[in-house]
Amino acid sequence: MLKALRSSSCLQQARFTTGASCLQYNSRHVTKLTSSFNGVLRSALADKNPKLFQRVFFCSDSSDGSGPGPVSAIEEVESKSTAAIVPTSIKKPDDFLTVLALPLSHRPLFPGFYMPIYVKDPKLLAALVESRKRQAPYAGAFLVKDDPGSEATGSDTEKNIYALKGKDLLNRLHEVGTLAQITSIQGEQVVLIGHRRLRITEMVSEDPLTVQVDHIKDLPYSKDDDVIKATSFEVISTLRDVLKTSSLWRDHAQTYTQHMGDFNYSRLADFGAAISGSNKVQCQQVLEELDVYNRLRLSLELLKKEMEIHRIQESIAKAIEEKISTEQRRYLLNEQYKAIKKELGLETDDKTALTDKFRDRIEPNKDNIPPHVLQVIEEELKKLQLLEASSSEFNVTRNYLDWLTALPWGNYSDENFNVAQAQQILDEDHYGLTDVKERILEFIAVGKLRGTSQGKIICLSGPPGVGKTSIGRSIARALNRKFYRFSVGGLSDVAEIKGHRRTYIGAMPGKMVQCLKSVGTANPLVLIDEIDKLGRGHAGDPASAMLELLDPEQNANFLDHYLDVPIDLSKVLFVCTANVVETIPNPLLDRMEIIPIAGYITDEKMHIARDYLEKTTRDACGIKPQQVEVTDAALLSLIENYCREAGVRNLQKQIEKIYRKIALQLVRQGVQKEPESSETSSDKQIESATESNESNDDTTTEEAEVVNINDSTTLADGASALKDTEATITIDKVWVNEDNLADYVGKPVFHAERMYDQTPLGVVMGLAWTAMGGSTLYIETTTIEQGDGKAALNLTGQLGDVMKESAQIAHTVARAILAGKDKENNFFANSKLHLHVPAGATPKDGPSAGCTMITSMLSLAMNMNVKKDLAMTGEVTLTGRVLPIGGVKEKTIAARRSGVKTIIFPLANKRDFDELAPNVKEGLDVHFVDDYNQIYDLAFHHTQEK
């Protein structure tokens, strides 16, 4: 059907046009087919540049078998490449009946299409080069059959093919292939263009494989067949849709028309099968089909599948596009907007500023932050960029990042391991407390030897006002650690310790996270105040929540509910304070190291008042030292008659009361601050006035004499002397002594518990321990009535269950001892006794008054007085054995405060007494007993001697 071009003008026209035909058709329907498809082609092609391709091939018509013989192929090459230039004098394609066999691994080569292949066989490649030199640039391209027993990939199959030779390779090739012209050879790459179908008849040579072929043509068909025409029009319609979907396929169509000329039925089928994405087996089936109608039908099926795949692809793309939410699109637009603002140099938005702030926080300390925390921070920063600034989750994420980046991850302060310097700091802040200071120095010494200090849990227990909180602050200063204090007294919410969940409104992290953010270091000293007063409410048990915080084995991975990432608290030094250790839960108490602080004796209170309290109060009131003098006798009277408690807080309040009244008195007298220029001379005058007034302690105030100062001084730099100045300074110095102390602090508070000149019958002094420290109390026993069978015991004094039981035991033991000492004495059998503990409005309970009660009852029964300066403590069993008690130091201090010289302790408490400071034990006659008979001898020995 396709006619040969017989003139050079026709050749030139075919070279510069895209699909215009110089052919003459014999049939009307072929003309309609050609013009119809060319119209479709022109509408589908966007580029009508006639110079799009620089190579034009003309090949013989091998489709219908009705046209004339094959025509020449001419190639024009503008570049100076190695592409073959085939002159018009070479042999015709029909002359090539023996060709080199080129195996194709992926797809068959259709007539009119380019295909680059890589030839790995050096002999085959050399044969192809040699063939081109002999002006025989043709070879046979045959598709390789799949190996039924192999599941290798395409690259593996290609390697296996090149390993085959001779008959083995021939058996793997399809019989029907394509006569291909070798257009260029670049290294191992060989570019082929298909011309016509071939069939292998026999093998000529094995290496490289050369075969003998027959040129096969399409079977004859009727061009007026309506079925063929309808099928061809449907193929054209489908091709129109296919060509609209991809520019690559439009390029294929344009190239094909340049190389093959106009379309006919056979070429239409080949084109449709070639551009489809079908597998190689289906394409080979089209290539082997010689019936034009069947070929059109097969090609139409492949094109329909191609369109169906494209429609599925479009539906998938559309579905995915619809899944992109409004927030995501807005995020993309925001990112573009930020990029534009960055390029223009405009200010950044809030989210970017926040992100930069958080990143700047962690950048200096990034190497010390644990990897899992860094991962959480990065995830939250990405999440922050995706959220809207107006959403509630944005605020939650921002606050979370604020806390997470503000913590001092791995940032430790330099500790002080100088024991001498720490000793000096502790002595500056506190007087006494030797055992507490020794424990802190031990901790520093261990840290110095190890090179690092591990966090510990120290619990300072003692009555109020003994300086537990200030000791914690001094420890922090001695160790050069940051100090943080929080009180857990009455705390009933676990979230205060462990933090809230972030999902709650107003969620906050726990106290420890707040502490780390506040101090800025990961090894502070944390003072947990009033740990014995932890509450328990509906929000859980805080004491149980404190276990993880204070357990040295667990706090290395302390998990706060708000942060939800582990925090290392192993380097934190915890110092707890408590008044009563007994109220602390045992599991929590087990994790602490208890350091008891019993209180201060009178001598220690005098030093504290002089060296600490008085100076602090005087500075707070704005009074100069030379304006007030508080005598030692006044301080001693203040301590003994007003401030007998174990601590010094009440003593500080009384001193503040004195100085406030003095400040008011000075202001009323018109005393003002002295000028700075006369400060030196004024001090000298004050000293002289003080010396003149020291001899008179009866008056409250004395007026200093008026002194005229005429002083001429010469400056060091040789300036002229100052003029004589006359200054008149009036100073009223206030004296506070024992006589006028009541004018400042009122009448004395304590009058009871004084020593009797002669202890009455039935009265014995006992030693008790209270939350305020140690105290002395008298136990009194008297007879209500006597008579046969009147034995009874009444108890008063707001006694608890323990002391009531002690009184009953004491009554029984006293009867047994009396029976042993004097069998004829029936006092207990015929007497109704009344035992009373004074200060009845004060509740009292504890196992330390048994021996005192027994002695009181025996004193009444035997009509013997107890030694006047004797005090005792201890519990007695029914067999008379004395049991150990607690609070030895507190009770010893209370005995010294009351002027007691002789003390009786249980023998088991001897070790506790030996550990006391020498100044506490000084001047005391202490006896340690194991049986009540020893107490009897000590209490009544002087009476027996008389």
Q: Enumerate the active-site residues.
A: 848, 891
466 has binding-site annotation = yes
Q: State yes or no: 465 annotated in a binding site.
A: yes
Q: What's the Cα-to-Cα distance from 362 to each of 355, 443, 522, rounded to whole Å?
A: 11, 33, 15
Let me know: does 481 contact 456? Beta carbons within 8 Å: no
Residue 138: helix, strand or coil by DSSP? Answer: strand
Residues 6+ apart with CB under 8 A from 457: 550, 552, 574, 576, 591, 592, 593
Q: Say whether 880 counts as a known binding-site residue.
A: no
Distance from the Cα of residue 457 to its chain's centroid: 23
C-alpha to C-alpha distance for 731 and 490, rounded to whole angstroms? 51
748 assigned to a ligand binding site: no
Beta strand pairing status for 925-929 and 902-906?
A: parallel
Torsion, CA 192, CA 194, CA 200, CA 203, rounded to 10 = -20
Look up residue 595 and give its amino acid: I
Q: What is the DSSP letter of 673?
A: P
Largest Cα span, the chain: 166
**By the 8 A CB rule, do 4 and 68 touch?**
yes
Closest listed residue to residue 931, CA positions, set 863, 851, 866: 851
Q: Strand runs (DSSP E) across 312-402, as ranges?
A: none
Q: CA-to-CA distance for 5 and 24, rounded, in angstroms?
A: 10
Q: Is 467 annotated as a binding residue?
A: yes
Asked whether the beta carbons of 780 and 821 are under 8 A apart, the reply is no
910 labelled ligand-binding: no
The side-by-side arrangement of strands in the sheet containing 831-836 is: 792-796, 831-836, 773-786, 763-770, 870-872, 902-906, 925-929
Short-list 840, 810, 814, 842, CA closest to 828: 814
Instruction: Kindly report the number of other CB atoms within 10 A of residue 143's CB atom.
Output: 24
Amino acid occupying residue 834: H
Q: Which residues are registered as beta bridge partners of 799?
A: 844
What are the angstrom distances between the C-alpha of 231 and each of 64, 112, 227, 228, 816? 17, 22, 6, 5, 132
The CB density around residue 629, as the number of other CB atoms within 10 Å, is: 16
Asked whether residue 277 is marked as a ligand-binding residue, the answer is no
Q: What is the dihedral of CA 721, 723, 724, 725, to 10 degrees?
A: -120
Cα angle value 204/207/213 (rounded, 5°): 30
Q: Which of 841, 863, 760, 850 is nearest to 809 (CA)?
A: 850
The annotated binding site for ATP is made up of 462-469
The annotated binding site is made up of 462-469
